[in-house]
Amino acid sequence: MSESESTTPTIGVFDSGFGGLTVLRALIDRLPMARFAFLGDTARLPYGSKSRRTIARYAAESAQFLVNEQGAEYLVIACNTASALALDAIQDAVSVPVLGVIEPGARAAAGASRSKDVLVIATDATVQSRAYAAACQALGLRALEKACPLLVPLVEEGWAESSSATGAVTAQVIQIYLAELTAQAAALGLDPDVLVLGCTHYPLLRGMFEAAVPVGVGVIDSAQAVAEAAAQGINGRVTADAGARGLPTEIRCFATDSVEKFERLGSRFLGRPVGKVQLVDLGG
């Protein structure tokens, strides 16, 4: 084993909220020996309704906090809006490698699709950015996108357990959205065989989506896709094998506001306690 394989780099993970904890969770699965610093810019939520210039400034400030103050040597942008509108600005603002969430999702869809027709569901802001459509098109895919605004609040309400009465509501909502989307695809003459979950909240609904998609349609989780791409990017510096040595993963979580909600809901996204979330002030 070379010297470089035994280092434990710090990976910075950024989101406008805490949905990106699903990306952190997928990263930990692949890089259990790394150190992680997660920042949720919760004070300036939602990014989706703000201008590109404002989002770029917020995202650049957040990235600089993770790199300059937390020592991140690699950045994962676990926020669809920031990935869609501010990836260039973030790359200009810091000198470490930066990976957005959209490109890996599109790449995973391209790898999984034989028909080259894919469905993408996301928030209204992400759909309006057309970022997935553009990334898919660049890879030779035809993408049909649909905004599903009810899914984030359903996840945040905790209505994601398929065995409960509340989960039955969420399953019904998913069924309605998918019926609308597949009807639209059929009307356009598309033959989709992949559904991309293009929002960091949606991995909590993955089982429901897998139960609801038509036969022959695979589900791509963009949180898994970006974690896979990040692990390959960091490959050789940390190995999954290192995790087997039994050292605990180091995770530091930061938020610019709403620490209470972050701590209360975050563990559901991360799949383990988020611990104490530190409040940071990035300015107005």
Catalytic residues: 79, 199
C-beta separation of 103 from 54 below 8 A: no
Provide φ and ψ at 94, rounded to 5°: -135, 165
**Contact region with a copy of itself (CB under 8 A), list: 28-36, 70-78, 114-122, 153-161:** 153-161
- Total residues contacting a copy of itself (rule CB under 8 A)? 18
Q: How far is the CB of 169 from a copy of itself (least distance, A)?
A: 5
Tokens representing residue 175 in the block: 């069924």
Binding status of residue 236 toward a copy of itself by CB under 8 A: no
Q: What is the phi/psi pair of residue 146, to 5°?
A: -145, 130
Site string for a copy of itself, 44-83 (x = CB under 8 A): -x---x----------------------------------
Burial of 47 (0-12, 13-18, 19+ CB in 10 A): buried
- Per-position x/- string for 82-121, each x denoting binding to a copy of itself as judged by CB under 8 A, each - no binding: ----------------------------------------
Check residue 273 for interaction with a copy of itself (CB under 8 A): no
Which of residues 114 and 264 has its CB atom nearest to a copy of itself in the complex?
Answer: 264
Angstrom distance (rounded) from CA 154 to CA 189: 31
> Which amino acid is residue 278, in one-letter code?
Q
Rounded CA Rg of the chain: 18
Q: Going by C-beta distance under 8 Å and a sequence separation of 6 or more, which residues neighbour residue 150?
A: 173, 177
Report the interface residues with a copy of itself, using CB under 8 A. Answer: 43, 45, 49, 149-150, 153-154, 156-157, 159, 165-166, 169, 172-173, 176, 257-258
